[in-house]
Amino acid sequence: MPETCTRIINLRYKDGSVGSASNPDTFNNQRFEQLKQSSLRRGTLFVDSTFPPDGNSLGDIPDLQPWQRQQVKWCRPAEIKKLMRVGGNPSFIIDGASRTDFSQGLIGNCWFLAAIGSLTLHKELLVQVVPCEQSFEEYAGIFHFRFSWFGRWVDVVIDDFLPMMKNELLSVRSKSANEFWVPLLEKAYAKLCGSYADMHAGNPTEAFKDFSGGVFMNYELRNQHDHNHDEELWGSLSRATDCKSMIGCGTFPANGAAANTLAVTGLVDWHAYAVTGVCEVKKHGKPVRLVRLLNPWGYQEWNGKWSDNSYLWNQVSSEDQKNCVKREDGEFWYGVMIIMKMMLNKNCHLLLLLLLMELEDFCHNYSYLSICCENPNFMDGDLTCQWKLMSYNGRWIAGKTAGGSFNERTFHMNPQYRIKVKAVENKGNNNLMLSLMKKPVQNRRNSSQNAIGFSVFKANAGKLDARYLNQNLYKQSSFTSDREVVELFKVEPGEYVVVPQTIYPNCSDEFLLTVYTKTGVKMHRGDDDHDDHDDHDDHDEKPTPKPTAEEEGEEISENYKLFKKYSDRDEELNIVQLQRLLNDSLLDDIYTDEGTIVMLTYQYSGFTVNVPLEGFVAVISQLESSKSKC
């Protein structure tokens, strides 16, 4: 990052701790080096039992008919090359990773590939996500990639079986048939999502977030223009580019057109693009702002103003041409000139526009711009401020803590998080950012359709009751069915309560709440009774404190020891860990598969993806009760 951009301070995962970028946690308890060395010693190629090369990992891809799915064949790179009749040896990366290394396959994940295009522009992030020392030497059929997954960096291990149909890769295709880093990266991300099909449709900001662990902001152009924020929008984009942000955008469907329909302008409806550069040139002395875009398809470029063969390039200086003219296939410049009426077709591409009434039609016909940066500085221009973040895992439980939106009578049942914001020097207009992410159900990205949001209240002592909440709303986020909702605020020093919520009551889900501030902040559950503690202790607060034998009885104490043996450092069990615990310790010779574990856990405890101690105890009690009746 440039010197003008400061790094954010993560108070939960400090540098070097497990889960930090420098020390990623395991995913599915798989350790890459151990698995690779084990395969090499045995002389076998690794096969990933947690994401096997079969129909479950592929999923129900919308663009494939059932009979076509039956034709999918999983092959390793050497076999792929033979089927494609390509010579030479397979390679991981050839001559470095580039934004033009790949084009989209049959998976509907242009949003993800647009994010990869942005990732290749930032080498520090790229080597964090893609360990580039990997190769096909000492080959064991195993690779690994790193992602920031709900606030924690994880290392995802995969085998190198890739889906093929009719001797062509079904997934993303590399421009060089010998290069495999992109389809392998796509497979690792599909494993995170639950299947390739679970990657269908999305917003580049999801992948931006998972590639960087940063903060993002979506801009709706129509809304920005209607509120006279065009200059602010351009300022954010320019600063974001200086801070080496990942930037993406997407088009509207035109006149009811289906997704990925090619328009006469060369643009694609309902399609995600990467923003790969910005600049400003002068045409006849008047400023023109240009944005460079990349189509993940690798072809089909904008053919209007400022396209490759546009006459407008002859009307700018040779120096400006030199700065802008270098483009790759699938990349194009799109520009807008101040004091120039924009007569634009609905199908034109999304880009930033400025200051004139004529911009209204443009903003009316385009969708969103997404910016993801390591910190929020690009939003308010204070690039030297150092933000701090802390996060908290929580859950809504139907009938207990799933109170629904502010308009519901049960709203006060939602979890409450108390934060104390300290005084800050007058740098920028905003000093508090809140992010709420809903976690996938049963590790499937598209499993939860609950819209989420949050409310902020000026705090009173103790847990806030329904009457107080109804009368003291301070801020309210929008609701979204996307994975994450983010809002940036300017607040006075003081104490506040944040209430995460689903739009409807009695919807069980799990979430991650993250608070970003320009100064130190204290945070704890609003219904907890404990003294204030310093900033370094807040992020280590556990949702489930350790019970003692005196408090819970000897049986609970023994269960805690067993729970502690298999759980992660946040004292939670994922489904794989719980499955191993039950099969190893409690169910004797009865093997229980993952699907059964998920059903048992949800039925007896109300928890899904991550199970805390109380959920584990509930499951154990029910299982032992059932065994005693047999």
Catalytic status, residue 559: no
> Tokens 């030497």 — which residue?
137
Outline where 60-203 has alpha helix (H): 66-69, 77-83, 110-119, 123-129, 181-193
Task: State how beta strands 331-337 and 215-220 pair.
Answer: unpaired
What is the C-alpha separation between 394 and 452, in angstroms, rounded?
Answer: 13
**φ, ψ of residue 366 in degrees (nearest 5):** -125, 160
Q: Which of 225, 271, 349, 524 is catalytic?
A: 271
- CA dist 144 → 9, 36, 134, 218, 262 (Å): 27, 10, 9, 30, 36
How many residues comprise the chain?
630
Separation of CA 308 from chain center: 33
Outline where 143-242 has alpha helix (H): 181-193, 204-212, 221-226, 230-242
Q: Which of 109, 203, 218, 295 is catalytic?
A: 295
Rounded to the nearest 10°, the torsion over CA 449, 227, 433, 4 is 120
The amino acid at residue 194 is: G
Instruction: Assess contact for 601 and 443: CB atoms under 8 A.
Output: no
What is the C-alpha separation between 336 and 330, in angstroms, rounded?
Answer: 20
Catalytic status, residue 363: no
Task: State how beta strands 331-337 and 73-75 pair.
Answer: unpaired
Instruction: Assess contact for 575 and 581: CB atoms under 8 A.
Output: no
Q: Which of 403, 100, 93, 369 is nearest to 249 (CA)?
A: 369
Rounded to the nearest 10°, the torsion over CA 183, 187, 189, 190 is 130
Q: Which of 5, 10, 75, 110 is catalytic?
A: 110
Catalytic status, residue 393: no
Q: Angle at the Cα of 96 (from 90 to 97), degrees rounded to 5?
A: 90
Neighbours of 102 (CB within 10 A): 26
What is the C-alpha separation between 66 and 60, in angstroms, rounded?
Answer: 8
**Containing H/E element for 627?**
helix 613-628
- Half-sphere exposure (CA, 13 Å, Cβ side) for 25? 17
What is the C-alpha separation between 119 and 103, in angstroms, rounded?
Answer: 15
What is the C-alpha separation between 249 and 203, in angstroms, rounded?
Answer: 9
181-193 vs 110-119: helix crossing angle, rounded to 10? 120
User: Which residues form the catalytic set?
Assistant: 110, 271, 295
